[in-house]
Amino acid sequence: MKLTSHGQLLLILSFYVISINLQAECIGVITAGGGKNFWGEVKNGGLQAGKDLGLTVYVSGANDEVDTLSQRLLIENIIAKGCKGLVLAPNTDERQDLIVQLKKKGVLTVFIDRDIGGDRLSVLKTDNLAAGRLAGREMVKVLNGQGKVAVFRYRQSVSTTNFREQGFIEEAIKGGLEIVIDEYIGTTIREARENFIVAFRLQNNVDGIFTPNESTTMGVIATLKMLNMSEQIKHIGFDSSKFIINALQRKQLYGFVIQNPYQMGYQGVSSVYRALQGQNIKAVIDTGSSFVNRENITTPEVKKLLNLP
């Protein structure tokens, strides 16, 4: 879909729709970014909830999480369709004002993945501080409580990854590890690769690396492979994709923490639906996190989370 506004700004957006019953309530799901991995699973969960509940559910998201204008236009598009419910992963704190306006119009909103406060009914997200601590404990375990570690961060203004990084650092230091690199490397895979190289050249004597999301994890995997250092350094990443799973199986990654984006989408739509029916919903719902490595990736529980056969 192409939208043109604000000085002929052309936005190329991904847009999905499922129409189950055109007479039923309409609910919109707006993700913070695009892609078929994390946000793709949010989409799948939201659409399945629509199917199960007999709803018309629209799912859309800008290509990049820093594209705040695109997200606002997509929200406006959902409201123009007459939707009375919104599941939103806000990509800027400015969404607080918009949520206030929507509430006045009778539109109910729940947040997924992240929370910026305001008049949302509920927040469905991973406990990111706990997830970061989980990664930190696994790093301490694999390095036997000694060694130098690098933290390659995502973006300063993103609270989800900030909490993961904070949790990891707390547990790593508590377990006896030394943080020797602590740098932001960008929001895209390309930026992650380029900025990782710059930071890594300054201090490449590290035993472990932590990356807090999909793009930083993929960028560092690819660069370590290029440098022939994949098996020398214990790299713990975050989020899952086919690329990341393949890297784990090929010993190019020690392990990664996964969320449950499918449940964010599914429970997000279900929560809005229940609220529209006048039912009470929890203010905060933790959708959970798990650690995956080569030892447990073949277990039924992990295979289900990763949608593996």
Q: Which residues contact 146 (CB under 8 A, 6 or more apart)?
A: 176, 177
Count CB atoms within 10 A of the CB of residue 24: 15
pLDDT at 8: 37
**In whole angstroms, what is the distance from residue 177 CA to residue 142 CA?**
11
> Would you state the structure tokens that stand for residue 102, as one six-digit string?
């929507």
**In whole angstroms, what is the distance from residue 66 CA to residue 77 CA?**
19
2-126+260-278 against 128-258: fold identical: yes
- In the chain the beta strands, taken as DSSP E runs, fall at 2-5, 9-12, 14-19, 26-31, 56-61, 85-88, 108-112, 123-125, 148-153, 178-184, 208-210, 234-238, 255-258, 284-286, 290-293
pTM of the model: 0.75
Q: What CATH superfamily classification does 2-126+260-278 receive?
A: Response regulator (3.40.50.2300)
Domain boundaries, the chain: 2-126+260-278, 128-258
Lateral strand order in the sheet of 56-61: 14-19, 56-61, 26-31, 85-88, 108-112, 123-125, 284-286
Phi then psi for residue 40, to 5 deg, are: -65, -35
Going residue by residue through the chain, which has 309 residues, state the pLDDT in tens, using 9 for 90 and above. 344 444 433 343 444 444 433 334 799 999 998 777 789 889 999 999 999 999 999 999 988 888 999 999 999 999 899 999 999 999 888 899 899 999 998 999 999 998 888 889 999 999 999 999 999 999 999 999 999 999 999 999 888 899 999 999 999 999 999 999 999 999 899 999 999 998 887 677 899 999 999 999 999 999 999 999 998 999 999 999 999 999 999 999 999 999 999 999 999 999 999 999 999 999 999 998 999 999 999 999 999 888 888
- The CATH class given to the 128-258 domain equals alpha beta
pLDDT at 158: 85
How far lies 119's CA from each of 59, 96, 264, in Å? Answer: 21, 7, 19
